[in-house]
Amino acid sequence: MMRSSWMAWMLGVGLALAQEAPPAAVPPPAPPKQRPQRPPLPGVKEVQKPMSLVTPEAVFSVPGVPDWLIDTPDAVWVSNKPKNSISKLDIKTNTVTATVTVGEKPCSGLAYGFGSVWAPNCGDKTVSRVDDKEAKVIATIPVGPADSEGGITASPEAVWMATGAEGDKVARIDPKTNTVTAEVPVPAGSHTVDYGEGAVWVTQSKGKLLTRIDPKTAKVTDQIEVGPGPRFLTVGEGYVWTLNQGDGTVSKVDPKTRKVVATITVGVPGGGGEISAAGGSVWITVFQIPISRIDAKTDKVTHQYAGPGGDAILYAHGSVWLSNLRQQNVWRLDPAKITQ
């Protein structure tokens, strides 16, 4: 009788175990988030070629996110936001000769003036002043940029940067005292500045205005309507050029008459990008179309290269410099070969 009870108990346990549900399967790890695809840019098809045809003269490895570029007498500097640093690219040896830790998350351009490189920092709302020769921070100014996608510039008198939560003022930094000595009111949504032709020029990326500031008086003298959403700008070849993110055009402004004299279709609407004018050309970069070249005299797009790469561009020391943000490097290019 005891044996029969034990056998019955064992049978019951076996049936219970058999009826238990199998353990739940462990779900596979979630795939990494994919960067949303940008809509294809129209560009200028009749002059467009693949980026694979472009061969750099030198490649500078800059691990992180190499972005903004500025030239000094013997170098080009590049910012690196996640690394909290800027790096010096030597134009004679084509090597990275220094990397300097600045403030938190350098952003919104670089400027050169008064023997120093000036780096705005989005993370701690400061500007780092870096001695170009000694490659070290010599001052930190407690003023932050208006936007991560903006700019800073130097005139013979001072350093200028768009600032304010609404992007409604331009700060004047005195290089003798490393302090903000004036704030010039500008239209809200103004984020980028550049100096040239005797003035500081400011673009209103949340509108369509180009504002002119007299650097001697720190006062606004003119407001000029350009294309929609002008964010990045450059002064060179005797004109002011704005890259208009709203429709992908470039506005050419005569600094003497203070009027738009040409509107050039480049086919690069949308966020990001950069523009640089020198050496008879205007150079533009955006994702998908890393290089576009405008003839500064004819106002025509003569060359355009589509493919991976780009995000910042600069003409300096007889070369075109291209930051390839996602490829973590900077290219030095021969403009003669790009325009073959």
The confidence band for 225, taking pLDDT boundaries of 50, 70 and 90, is very high
Can you list the alpha helix ranges (DSSP code H) found in the chain?
2-19, 335-338
pLDDT number for residue 171 = 98
Asked if residue 134 belongs to a domain, the reply is no
Asked if residue 21 belongs to a domain, the reply is no
Beta partners for 312?
323
Q: How many domains does the chain have?
A: 1
Tell me the pairing of strands 95-101 and 111-113. Answer: unpaired
Asked if residue 104 belongs to a domain, the reply is no
Domain with 298 in it: what CATH number? 2.120.10.30
Asked if residue 140 belongs to a domain, the reply is no
Asked if residue 175 belongs to a domain, the reply is no
Q: How many angstroms from the chain centroid is the CA of residue 116?
A: 20
Identity of residue 329: N
Asked if residue 16 belongs to a domain, the reply is no
Residue 13 has pLDDT above 90, yes or no: no
Share of the chain above pLDDT 70, in %: 89
pLDDT in tens, 251-264: 999 999 999 999 99
User: Six-digit token pair at 204?
Assistant: 């209103």
pLDDT number for residue 11 = 42
The answer to whether the beta carbons of residues 276 and 296 sit under 8 Å apart is no
CA gap 112, 212 in Å, rounded: 20
pLDDT in tens, 125-167: 999 999 999 999 999 999 999 999 999 999 999 999 999 999 9
Range of the domain at 274: 227-255+270-340
Query: Model-level pTM?
Result: 0.89
Least confident of 34-48, 249-263, 271-285, 324-338: 34-48
Asked if residue 137 belongs to a domain, the reply is no
Asked if residue 4 belongs to a domain, the reply is no
pLDDT in tens, 32-56: 566 567 788 999 999 999 999 999 9
